[in-house]
Amino acid sequence: MAASPSASLATGPWRTLWRRLRKNRWAMVGLWVLGLLYLAVVFAPFLSPYGYTTQFREQNWHPPHITRLHLWDDAGTFQGPFVYASNRLDEFTSEYEEDRAKPVEIDFFVRGETYSFLGIESNLHLFGSRDPTRPIFLFGSDKYGRDVFTRILYGGRISMSVGLLGIAISMTIGLLVGGIAGYFGGRTDFLLMRLVELILALPGLYLILVIRQVFGRDVPSTQSYLIVVLVLAFIGWAGNARVIRGMVLSIKENEYVTAAEALGQRRLAIIVRHILPNTLSFVIVTATLAVPYYILGEVALSFLSVGIQEPEASWGNMLRDAQDVRNLTDFPWVVVPGFFIFLAVMAFNFLGDGLRDAADPRALE
Amino acid sequence: MGVFIARRLLAVPPLLLAVSFITFLLLDAAPGDYVTRLAEDPHISAETLAELRHRYGLDGSLVERYGRWLLNAVQGDFGYSFSKEIGVFTLIGERLGNTLLLSGSALLLAWGMALPLGVVAGVRQGSVLDKVVSFISFFGLSIPRVFFALLMVMFAATTKWFPVGGMRDLVEWDTFTPWQKVVDVAHHLVLPTIVLGTTQMAAYMRQMRAEMVETLGKDFVRTARAKGLSTRQVVWKHAFGNAVNPLITLFGYSLAALLTGSFLVEVVFAWPGLARLTVDAVFSQDEPVVMASVVMATVMLVVGNLIADILLGAVDPRIGVG
């Protein structure tokens, strides 16, 4: 035990944080899950067999193939991955029957629909079915016959980035407002903190809906994305500002702040360069734990039909299909996006908890 | 204490004024108004539209309209719902009761489970029960309520054990005896309460466990043990009272969330509470209803926070709130 303080001094705060974090199994699980999720959504065009708007209208509400993948045929010979072709029973219901005589092979690194990724045009997909009229639906298809697996990957681009962008915006505002209020004090502090209290006293989701309404119902999909982020960040910054202000109040008593003042640095520069960096560990922990708020906020807004608009996919607006009880019983795969929301939120919670413990100076080694 | 409460209560009117004005401003900033939708109907003439606007009080400047609303509101008159054409008070009053019924029973479930489970998990660290408790905590903290609610609706629809939504049996309600009515509502209440209750329980349970672990390590607990008290007496008589302190504040905050916390669960379960009403009112720009529910939710938040502070002052003599 006696060696640990000097050891942590020798390795520096970031190394210590990382070393402590690595010991926390659940935090590492969270980190891995998030890493995989972000990789998956970044490489969505390559990983998904189709485009997110591609419709196979004749095969809507097709059940998931993922539980019907085969490697061996009925005779017991190895065939590589394949599924059996399925035929619709009739055109009024969405019931399908497997045709055991007709296997559809799944190939890897196939040429399919063209997409552009990081400015590169390509048509290479990780996997796809050999028969173009018999698409592969790993997680089933939706009411228009779009591949749910594809839409989950593309939808994740929106759902997973809303959190990062939202927290970046609200944390920046929170840092600035909290820093200014804490450093200047007096009337500025009083006014800013009353504003913070006002926003914290507002009933969250009610207000979010009302603000969302200001932008009107019919907005293009790219705009609706920004609106969702801005609306959520507008509410989210206040709590951060309050805590940052409290930290700034004590940090500004340090001698190096007086030194910077004596050297005649501009006051805003003192706040940004000398005071705010000391709140970094708080900022990282809070940001990680706050990302779920934005992910869930997007889900709530899209679920209530004022978030991300069709044909764009997001995990929230995909869940809208589950609002119909008949879909829930007949096509249970409509809840699959929910599992991904759950997974992402849980991973952020695990990681955030681990970071908080690792950054806690009172914690025992 | 009296001064503290008075000072806090004095801050409420300006807050309500600000909140209602901001809401009004935002509603005004939204494109169109309630009448705009009617304008799409070619049978309605421009004169009728103007007359409707006048009747609904949608003409005049922002300040003028807000002033009119405020003047009526302080006299307890929140106006008439445009779309439902009944008094906002009657409309909201009924929905408010339903929301409070749901979130109240969820609150009971959450606290009724969280306290004993948290205590036992804290006392028997590392036991199977402790692991179950921490699993439930993480599950409850992370599962999105919408998703959980949808899974429950799916469960209800597949097993037919529970109704998939609503608050009462629409077909046979009128033939029910009062007792059957109670049973019917309770039956409808089970699933939404479970969803709302377990997700809330998680945070309290975790906190209770942490406080218990910390308290059990204190000197006075060792003293109590040393003088030969039974474990039960040590835990419940000495440790619990001290460990539960921080949770009392949480209880106040959970009161504050009574009106707003159940929002999405109500939507998924088609519970006839405030949520659906407010969502519809916001979308159809039914101004009086939106204003009234926002004001009410704010009051609830403020009162809840105040209760939290008062409770904290009452249970912990070290915290002076004077």
Could you report the per-residue pLDDT of A66-86, keeping only the tens digit for each?
A: 888 888 887 888 888 888 888
- The answer to whether residue B42 scores a pLDDT higher than 80 is no
Contact between chains at B264 and A300 (C-beta distance less than 8 A): yes
Per-residue confidence at B112, pLDDT binned at 50, 70, 90?
very high
Range of the domain at B206: 88-315
The ipTM is 0.86
CATH class of the domain whose range is A154-359: mainly alpha
When divided into structural domains, chain B yields a total of 1
- Whether A304 sits inside 8 A of B279 (CB atoms) is yes
A349–B138 CB contact, under 8 Å: yes
Confidence (pLDDT) at A364:
52
Q: What is the mean pLDDT of chain A?
A: 86
Are the beta carbons of B293 and A206 separated by less than 8 Å? yes
Which residues on chain A are in Cβ contact (under 8 Å) with B268?
Answer: 323
> Is B130 part of a structural domain of the chain?
yes
State which of A161-170, A249-258, A322-331, B53-62 shows the largest mean pLDDT.
A161-170
- For residue B26, is it within any domain? no
CB contacts of A205 in chain B (<8 Å) are 260, 263-264
Q: Does A102 or B41 have the greater pLDDT score?
A: A102
CA distance B230 to chain A (A): 31
Residue written as token pair 């700034």? A248
The reply to whether B244 falls in a domain is: yes
Do A202 and B298 lie within an 8 Å CB cutoff?
Answer: yes
Interchain contact, A202 vs B260, CB within 8 Å: no
Asked, for residue B215, whether it belongs to a domain, the answer is yes
pTM here? Answer: 0.88
Chain A residues with CB under 8 Å of a chain B CB are 197-198, 201-207, 209-211, 213-217, 292, 296, 299-300, 303-304, 306, 319, 322-323, 325, 328-329, 332, 335, 338-339, 341-342, 345-346, 349-350
Å from B16 to nearest chain A CA? 9
A317-326, B29-38, B70-79: which has the minimum mean pLDDT? B29-38
What are the residue ranges spanned by the domains of chain A? 53-146, 154-359
Mutation target to probe the B interface, by most B beta carbons within 10 A, among A162, A198, A209, A357 is: A209
**pLDDT (tens digit, 9 = 90+) per residue, A88-136?**
887 777 888 888 888 888 888 988 888 888 888 888 889 888 888 888 8
- What distance in Å separates residue B251's CA from the closest CA in chain A? 17
Across B56-60, B177-181, B194-198, B249-253, the highest mean pLDDT is recorded for: B194-198
Q: Tell me whether residue B17 is in a domain.
A: no
Higher pLDDT, A12 or B279: B279
For B126-159, how does the pLDDT look when each residue is reduced to its tens digit (9 = 90+)? 889 888 888 888 888 889 999 999 999 999 998 8
Q: How confident is the model at residue A11 (pLDDT cuts 50, 70, 90)?
A: low
What's B311's domain CATH number? 1.10.3720.10
Is residue B55 situated within a structural domain?
Answer: no
Of the residues B147, B159, B298, the best mutation for testing chain A's interface (the one with the most A CB atoms within 10 Å of its CB) is: B147
Contact B150 A339 (CB under 8 A): no
The shortest C-alpha distance from A342 to chain B (Å) reads: 5
Contact assignment for B268 to A323 by CB distance below 8 Å: yes
Contact B147 A338 (CB under 8 A): yes
Q: Which residues of B touch A342 (CB under 8 A)?
A: 142-144, 147
- Cβ B294–A206 below 8 Å, yes or no? yes
Residue A339 to chain B, least CA–CA distance (Å):
8
In this structure, is residue B10 part of a structural domain?
no
Chain A residues lying within 8 Å of B300, measured CB to CB: 203
**Number of residue pairs across A and B with CB atoms under 8 Å?**
115
